[in-house]
Amino acid sequence: MSFEPRILGFLCNWCSYAGADLAGVSRIQYPPNIRVIRVMCSGRVDPEFIFKALKLGIDGVIITGCHPGDCHYIEGNYEAVKKFELVQKLLSKLNMEKRIRLEWVSASEGNRFAEVITDFTNQIKELGPSPLSGKDLDMELMEKLEALEMAAESYRLRALVGRERKITEQENVYGEKYPKEKFDNLFDAAINNEYIRNRILLSLEKNPKSVKDLATQLNIDSKEILNHILVLKGRNQVAMEDIIENQPIYLNVMER
Amino acid sequence: MEKIGAVLIVGAGIGGSQAALDLGDAGYKVYLIESTTSIGGVMAQLDKTFPTNDCAMCIVSPKLVETGRHQNIDLHINCKIEEVSGEAGNFTIKILKKSLHINMDKCTGCGVCGQKCPVEAIDMFNEGLAKVKATSVKYPQAVPLVYAINKDYCIGCGVCEGVCKAEAVEYDLEDQEVEFNVGAIILAPGFEEFVPAEGNKYGYGKYKNVVTSIEFERILSASGPYTGKILRPSDGDVPEQVAFLQCIGSRDLREGQPYCSSVCCMYTCKEAVIAKEHMDQVNPTIFSMDVRAYGKDFDKYIIHAQEEYGVQYIRSRISSITEDSKTKDLILKYETEDGKIISEVFNMVVLAVGLNPPNDAEYLAEKFGIELNEYKFALTDVFNPVQTTRPGIFACGAFQSPKDIPETVTQASAAAGCVNQLLYEKTGTLITEKTLPPEIYVAGQPPRIGVFICHCGINIGGYVDVPDVKKYASNLPNVVLADRNLYTCSADTQTIIKNKIEEFHLNRVIVASCTPRTHESLFQETIREAGLNRYLFQMANIRDQCSWVHMHQPKEATQKAKDLVRMAVNKARNIIPLERIKLSVTPKALVIGGGITGMVAALNFASQEYETCLVEKEMELGGHAKHIYTTLEGGSVQDYLSDLIQKVNSNENLHVYTQAEIENIDGFIGNFKTTLIHGDRKERVEFDHGVVVVATGANEYQPKEYLYGKNPLVIKQSDFEKLINTTDDIKNKKSIVMIQCVGSRDEERPYCSKMCCAEAIKNAILTKEKYPGVEITILFRDIRTYGFKEKYYRQAREAGIIFLRYDEKNPPNVIANDSQLKVEVNTPTKEVININTDLLVLSAGIYADREENEVLAMMLKVPINDDNFFLEAHVKLRPVDFATEGIFVAGLAHCPKPIEDSISQANAAVSRACTILSKDEIEAEGKTAVVNMARCSGCGMCVENCAYNAIELIEDRRFGLIASINQALCKGCGACSGNCRCAAIDVLGFTGEQIYAMIKGRL
């Protein structure tokens, strides 16, 4: 039997959901793999929703909203873009970014809705089943995805996402426009750091480890690991448990 | 005679619908009469709208759905007016409801009849470009969604009766006469598009690739005949060179109408841009005379079209079109500005057709006893453009004069504003409030879910195995009842649902059928009538998004339907009753600005007995109008103004504060508190009110160019107006030169001031009348005498006033020359013309004061645009509302406009405000964002992200600085929640928990 992907769609009520309805009224056929969750605005789609879905083994997630400028809630879709970009950047670390997509579909684009869904369904078919579906779960990948999810939920990344438009498109508190390119670099670095830090935290949750242990396990330079450990210590998320053979052993002390 | 609290609205396009919604919301009974079979008018036919390129269907359809289901609006389609009698306050109306041959009450709009109809007929909505059946609905999103049999095409085969499971087809259904009483009438029948006559010089009708702009609009539309691909009708090729011809049937004494149709310059530019956007191969060229981009942000749009999309403008009127009979290409012949004759080949030609009065204008005028103007549009008052010649009858939209959507919406609200003024004592008298049983207490009880699955005739049942889905649903946890119905939306099923709720003690209800966009509120109403909170409802869309789109895969469609039902059940387990909080309303208004706009608004409020506070910063009322003597059409502004001021000063409900400054405005919709100081002694006043109208106006530009202020022979247009009206100083002048666009359409102020062309022409004509010997030359870039103002442009030229276009990149030079001035004019064709003149008059533009507006904007938490004018909630459909509820804008504060437009906006703002003030309390939507105080860190990001200013940071005794959401302002979009750093904000009705439950249900 051929692979029939399980796809989840978040559709904004005003444009895309109406566009999907129009596809129906016009009887435009598309593959039956999608299940739709209606939200009032694409800006409602919390990055967490996407991670929750992928962790459950869903093969693809698509978000559709009003075209730029058309948002029923003035600018919600611009917020959606920022959140989506964050998730996409995070998922690219696991080569899973192609499993999600953001598209604009208006209320009069029944055809386009069908095209988009057909295209996305084919794309997911080509990618094959999610590595997190089926019986033999790739636990390492799951842990990595979990680290990404935690990164997406982190104060730091959410604060950057929430303020990006204001400081790069309008003005920051100094009345200046912060250069987009600089922001992107900073944002990418933050994404990378938070991902690694969360991987460290997850690893230390299972058992305490030294910097070198972590470096070997995560395949990251030990100097970098040390820097992250210091930051995490500063955040009271890890603590030094012991020193064995001159190597401090760290422990995750977060409450979960 | 007893006044009646009901209103008749004729025409249910965007204008009629807006007026109906305003009045319905303000507590009047509304009879909305439409001659075709669905509402929405021309706007529903459009692909995109300028200048924002908004998708027309996206923005209009929620409004149409709301109109269709509004409990105070009685919608009658396929109607004709028969008789009108009575007078203002009490009219009797007789209408003829023509039979649809389909019973409206039974038709569910499922569309099977249309699919099975064997007779292919022409589809009006796609402008003859696609085919539909004799049984049809006008377009897929039509409101009301009922089918009609077109007797002109029907052959009477009887197929539709056979296939209609709802038994709605009744061939013998007869026309029906209906009579009702109303207090006022609003006429909004719209316009008829100009159709070039047979044998026209453009070859329309003869050459296949010559189409009208409205046909092209359907070609552009994703829901049109070519599904949004730009194809030419002759062979379906993509046309590369597309010519757009302006002024077809407009500004044309021989083959059309003498007036300007006001909207074609902009819609053509939009069509060119969208065509390019849809298909990059298309190269649009627009042939025009003047480019009349006089509205808010219009000039920017034109510049953008040229610079970003490569849209070409050629200033010329085409003299002839011929067709290459082989290629079906079109050869256009035209004269360039410097006199060369050019022949050019285009693959397709779009005619920008003008707006004619509605075909039945004379019929309507006769029935309603109103007068028409010389062009057969409704004749209205010079100062109140919605007042017809008969009291109690108002006109709005294109029937009053050709106009675009925002101006139509404004006038619709303005007409409603005038109705309010006439009938205010009768609001609420004819509407019936439903008495509902008390809500059953369900909190804490285990969910008892009832699932009703719809067959929708064969629309669902034909592809999805409904009995199987029912069986599946009945085994899901917490589902105590699964039922299936032929039509879940039919009236008898509503009774069944209510009975089952009682019988099975259901506390959550799911309907698996069509789309919540059109049907959710119907079912919510049903369960509420059975005593359940209306939010204890979920819908699964197994038709529009399942059976209809997987018709060839019944197995998969059935599986999908089960999944969708399971997801809905998962969510339903987590839903809770929500409360629509009620807020009291202070029935008082604050109007800021004592010019004409502010005074009209204040007087309208006050005459409806709403206590009103009018605030003016200057010593006296009157604003900008103090310097205007007449309108172009001949109305005496000074007489109107003094009459208005007298009425304002003598109204006992109106408090006028001059030399006033607002210190502070606090609060929100229904509950504002304002502090102001006023008068010489700087007295402080506090005022509670429910709404705010911003009518702060704008200023006349003080020129820095053309020796203004340095040479006494250079004066502003307003100074000239005073001279010509109050002195005879002009008598000795032999030559007068006027320069247009001074301080407008330049880098600093890239917008058109809209009124200057009319002002210049008005004063020039008056001067010529008084002193025929004076030579007057008007130097211009485009003459923008839109609409009926075109008449005066023609009159001016006939009077010998010279119009000379100057090169916008090379404006005139003015050189002082003893007792005269020398004006060097660089024409667009690089000629230099020298004029010696005794007086130079500068048509100075309008600008908004950034500092003043910023202060007020900050206080009200409303936005201003790049040009410092206030920014409305939506450029097209909410022209006088701010996104923040309870606050409105009118007049020059919004953008430059002539007096009559300002007056319309003032009345429109009042009408919008009356939808709030007429209620003792307003109900906020239940699905709003909520803050978990314990988790909130008070970072304030949500405050910035909220487009509606619904969130503020407050100091809480226990939790410190936290976000607080004003439920009255929250729209429930969820932008705050998705961004919250601490997961402290959730959205009721769409909570994270509910959505996770659905995600899990996907497996």
Q: Express each pLDDT in B58-113 by its tens digit.
A: 788 888 888 988 999 999 999 999 999 999 999 999 999 999 899 988 888 888 88
Tally of domains within chain A:
2
Give the minimum alpha-carbon distance from A242 to chain B in angstroms, rounded to a whole number. 32
- B947 Cβ under 8 Å from any chain A Cβ: yes
- A14 Cβ under 8 Å from any chain B Cβ: yes
**What was the pLDDT predicted at B56?**
83
Decide if domain B1-98+175-191+357-433 falls under CATH 3.50.50.60: yes
Chain B residues close to A75, C-beta within 8 Å: 947, 975
Residue A251 Rama label (left phi>0; alpha psi -120 to 50; beta)? beta
> What gap in Å lies between CA B805 and CA B790, rounded to an integer?
17
Using H for helix, E for strand and C for coil, what is the string for B461-507? CCCCCHHHHHHHHHCCCCEEEEEEECCCCCHHHHHHHHHHHHHCCCC
Residue A139 inside a domain? The answer is no
Give the range of the structural domain holding residue A20, as residue numbers without chain letter. Answer: 7-127
What are B277's two structure tokens?
A: 């956007």
Among the partner residues A52, A111, A114, nearest to B996 by beta-carbon distance: A52
Q: Given an 8 Å threshold on Cβ–Cβ distance, is B57 in contact with A47? A: no
Residue A53 inside a domain? The answer is yes
Q: Given an 8 Å threshold on Cβ–Cβ distance, is B990 in contact with A166? A: no
Write out the DSSP string of chain A. ------EEEEEETTTHHHHHHHHHHTT----TTEEEEEES-GGG--HHHHHHHHHTT-SEEEEEEPPTT--TTSSHHHHHHHHHHHHHHHHHTTT-GGGEEEEE--TT-HHHHHHHHHHHHHHHHHH-S-TTSSSS--HHHHHHHHHHHHHHHSHHHHHHHHHHHIIIII--TTS-PPPHHHHHHHHHHHHHHHHHHHHHHHHHHHS-EEHHHHHHHHT--HHHHHHHHHHHHHTTSEEEEEEETTEEEEEE----
Chain B residues close to A53, C-beta within 8 Å: 999, 1002
Chain centre to alpha carbon of residue B352: 21
Q: Which residues contact B687 (CB under 8 A, 6 or more apart)?
A: B588, B590, B613, B655, B673, B674, B675, B676
- Architecture in CATH for domain B928-987: 2-Layer Sandwich (3.30)
Fold of B449-574: Rossmann fold (3.40.50)
- A99 Cβ under 8 Å from any chain B Cβ: no
Number of H helices and number of E strands within chain B? Answer: 23, 52
Digit-coded pLDDT (tens) for B148-184: 888 777 777 788 888 888 899 998 889 999 999 999 9
**What was the pLDDT predicted at B603?**
98
Indicate the DSSP class of residue B959. Answer: T
Q: Given an 8 Å threshold on Cβ–Cβ distance, is A26 in contact with B223? A: yes
Average pLDDT over every residue of B326-339: 92
> What gap in Å lies between CA B418 and CA B7, rounded to an integer?
12
Same fold, B99-173 and B928-987: yes
Chain A residues close to B945, C-beta within 8 Å: 79, 162
Give the minimum alpha-carbon distance from B532 to chain A in angstroms, rounded to a whole number. 23
Chain B residues close to A68, C-beta within 8 Å: none
Is the confidence at residue B665, as pLDDT, over 60? Answer: yes
B181 three-state secondary structure:
strand
Digit-coded pLDDT (tens) for B711-724: 999 999 999 999 99
Give the minimum alpha-carbon distance from A247 to chain B in angstroms, rounded to a whole number. 35
**B 98-117: CB under 8 A from A:** 111
For residue B768, give the amino acid letter. K
Chain B residues close to A52, C-beta within 8 Å: 996, 999
Output the CA–CA distances (angstroms, integers) from residue B543 to B513, B539, B549, B610, in the order listed.
6, 11, 8, 49
For residue B400, give the amino acid letter. Q
Q: Given an 8 Å threshold on Cβ–Cβ distance, is A44 in contact with B559? A: no
> What gap in Å lies between CA B263 and CA B678, rounded to an integer?
43
**What was the pLDDT predicted at A1?**
56
Percent of chain B's residues with pLDDT above 90: 74
Give the domain CATH number at A176: 1.10.10.10
> What gap in Å lies between CA B757 and CA B793, rounded to an integer?
9
Average pLDDT over every residue of A150-166: 85
Residue A11 inside a domain? The answer is yes
Q: Which residues contact A194 (CB under 8 A, 6 or more apart)?
A: A150, A151, A154, A156, A157
Nearest CA in chain A to B927: A40
B98 three-state secondary structure:
coil
- B999 Cβ under 8 Å from any chain A Cβ: yes
Among the partner residues B971, B979, B995, nearest to A158 by beta-carbon distance: B979
> What gap in Å lies between CA B788 and CA B380, rounded to an integer?
12
Query: Taking the CB of residue A179, how many other CB atoms lie within 10 A of it?
Result: 11
Q: Given an 8 Å threshold on Cβ–Cβ distance, is B141 in contact with A18? A: yes
Helices A16-25, B56-69: axis angle to 10 degrees equals 80
* Least confident interval from B115-129, B660-674, B796-810: B115-129
Digit-coded pLDDT (tens) for B23-63: 999 999 999 999 998 899 999 888 888 887 777 877 888 88
Write out the DSSP string of B771-840. -TT-EEEEEES-----GGGHHHHHHHHHTT-EEEE--TTSPPEEEEETTEEEEEEE-TTS-EEEEEESEE
Q: Given an 8 Å threshold on Cβ–Cβ distance, is A32 in contact with B559? A: yes
Chain centre to alpha carbon of residue B853: 25
CB pairs under 8 A between A and B: 204
Write out the DSSP string of B723-772. HHHH--GGGG-SEEEEEEEETSSSSSS-S--SSHHHHHHHHHHHHHHH-T
Residue A174 inside a domain? The answer is yes
Output the CA–CA distances (angstroms, integers) from residue B603 to B186, B608, B665, B910, in the order listed.
21, 9, 22, 10
In B625-669, where does DSSP find H-type helix? 637-650
Residues A168 and A115 occupy one common structural domain:
no
Digit-coded pLDDT (tens) for B234-274: 888 899 999 999 999 999 998 899 999 999 999 999 999 99
Q: With beta carbons less than 8 A apart as the criterion, state whether B404 and B266 touch.
A: yes
Domain boundary assignment for chain B: 1-98+175-191+357-433, 99-173, 194-355, 449-574, 584-698+848-922, 700-845, 928-987
Give residue B739's pLDDT band: very low, low, confident or very high (50, 70, 90).
very high
Among the partner residues A6, A21, A32, nearest to B544 by beta-carbon distance: A21
CA atoms within 13 A on the CB side of B986: 12
**A 115-174: CB under 8 A from B:** 153, 155, 158-159, 161-163, 166
Give residue B132's pLDDT band: very low, low, confident or very high (50, 70, 90).
low
* Least confident interval from A231-245, B274-288, B587-601, B661-675: A231-245
- B940 Cβ under 8 Å from any chain A Cβ: no
- B315 pairs with which residues across the strands? B288
Nearest CA in chain B to A54: B999
Is the confidence at residue B128, as pLDDT, over 70? Answer: no
- B545 Cβ under 8 Å from any chain A Cβ: yes
Q: Given an 8 Å threshold on Cβ–Cβ distance, is B140 in contact with A32? A: no
Among the partner residues A14, A36, A109, nearest to B545 by beta-carbon distance: A36
Residue A75 inside a domain? The answer is yes
Chain B residues close to A27, C-beta within 8 Å: 548-549, 551
- A13 Cβ under 8 Å from any chain B Cβ: yes
Q: Given an 8 Å threshold on Cβ–Cβ distance, is A46 in contact with B977? A: yes
Residue A132 inside a domain? The answer is no
Q: Which residue in B196, B231, B233 sits closest to B323, CA to CA?
A: B233
Among the partner residues A28, A56, A109, nearest to B1003 by beta-carbon distance: A56
| CATH class name, domain B700-845 | alpha beta
Q: Given an 8 Å threshold on Cβ–Cβ distance, is A25 in contact with B111? A: yes
Q: Given an 8 Å threshold on Cβ–Cβ distance, is A76 in contact with B567? A: no
ipTM over 0.90: no
Residues A158 and A233 occupy one common structural domain:
yes
Q: Given an 8 Å threshold on Cβ–Cβ distance, is B978 in contact with A107? A: no
Q: Given an 8 Å threshold on Cβ–Cβ distance, is A76 in contact with B564? A: no
Chain A residues close to B516, C-beta within 8 Å: 38
> What gap in Å lies between CA B203 and CA B268, rounded to an integer?
19
> What gap in Å lies between CA A250 and CA A240, rounded to an integer?
4
Digit-coded pLDDT (tens) for B405-455: 999 999 999 999 999 999 999 999 998 877 889 999 998 899 999 999 999
Q: With beta carbons less than 8 A apart as the criterion, state whether B456 and B543 touch.
A: yes
**B 948-987: CB under 8 A from A:** 948, 971-975, 977-983, 987
| CATH class name, domain B99-173 | alpha beta
B346 three-state secondary structure:
strand
Average pLDDT over every residue of B473-500: 92
Q: Identify the residue among A6, A25, A154, A171 best suited for mutation to test binding to B, counting B beta carbons within 10 A and taking the highest.
A: A25
Among the partner residues A6, A69, A83, nearest to B1002 by beta-carbon distance: A6
Residues A120 and A184 occupy one common structural domain:
no
Q: Given an 8 Å threshold on Cβ–Cβ distance, is B548 in contact with A24? A: yes
Give the minimum alpha-carbon distance from B58 to chain A in angstroms, rounded to a whole number. 5
**What was the pLDDT predicted at B861?**
86
Residue A225 inside a domain? The answer is yes
**What was the pLDDT predicted at B105?**
85
Per CATH, the number for B194-355 is 3.50.50.60
Give the domain CATH number at A51: 3.40.50
Q: Given an 8 Å threshold on Cβ–Cβ distance, is A107 in contact with B515? A: no
Q: Given an 8 Å threshold on Cβ–Cβ distance, is A158 in contact with B548? A: no
Greatest mean pLDDT among A207-221, B64-78, B783-797 lies in B783-797
Chain A residues close to B560, C-beta within 8 Å: 32, 35
Q: Given an 8 Å threshold on Cβ–Cβ distance, is B549 in contact with A6? A: no
Among the partner residues A43, A106, A153, nearest to B975 by beta-carbon distance: A43
- Architecture in CATH for domain B584-698+848-922: 3-Layer(bba) Sandwich (3.50)
Chain A residues close to B53, C-beta within 8 Å: 69
Q: Identify the residue among A10, A34, A35, A64 best suited for mutation to test binding to B, counting B beta carbons within 10 A and taking the highest.
A: A35
Q: Which residue in A229, A212, A231 sits closest to A221, CA to CA?
A: A212
Of all helices (H) and strands (E), which one includes residue B193?
A: strand B192-193
Whether omega for the bond prior to residue B896 falls within 30 degrees of 0, making it cis, is no
Nearest CA in chain B to A7: B1002
Nearest CA in chain A to B223: A108
Residue A40 inside a domain? The answer is yes
Average pLDDT over every residue of B913-935: 91
